[in-house]
Amino acid sequence: MVAFEKPDYTFPFSVEAERQHLLQHKDKRGIPDKRADRLLIATWNVANLGLHERTEAHYQLIAEIMSWLYCSRSGSLRRPQRAVSVGVLHWLFLRAHVH
């Protein structure tokens, strides 16, 4: 996969405001809530995951979406041995599945 260039600007945002936007979009798209009798699985290609530095706020929003599912797979990790450490992936998993 071709990497996107890193933007040369920052985009300030509120994690809580963006989380609310995500939840509104979840409702609009009809993504069901988790239930014991339903298995929700997804694949998600997070662009440039591991190529550009991300902040904890970015990972919080990624974890929010992961929390909607029982199982997910993120594709196209760039340089996973350096940029996306086991610790970050573990944090995402815990954030997404332990409430």
For the cut 60, the answer to whether the pLDDT of residue 98 exceeds it is no
Classify residue 79: in a domain, yes or no: yes
pTM confidence score: 0.68
Give domain status of residue 24, yes or no: no
For residue 92, pLDDT beyond 70: no
pLDDT score recorded for residue 75 = 55
If one compares 44 and 32, the residue with the highest pLDDT of the two is: 32
Q: Does 14 fall in a domain?
A: no
Examine the pLDDT at 4 and tell me if it is beyond 50: yes
Number of domains in the chain: 1
Domain residues for 90?
36-97
**Average pLDDT for 79-83:** 46
Query: 88 in a domain, yes or no?
Result: yes
Cα–Cα distance for residue pair 60/1, rounded to 1 Å: 25
Instruction: For residue 44, tell me if it sits in a domain.
Output: yes
- Rounded Cα gap, residues 88 and 40, in angstroms: 23
When pLDDT is cut at 50, 70 and 90, the band that residue 74 belongs to is: low
Query: The tokens of 2 are what?
Result: 């071709």
Q: Does 54 map to a domain? A: yes
- Does residue 10 form part of some domain? no
- Per the DSSP assignment, residues forming a β-bridge with 38 are 35
76 residue type, one letter = S
Residue 3 located in a structural domain: no
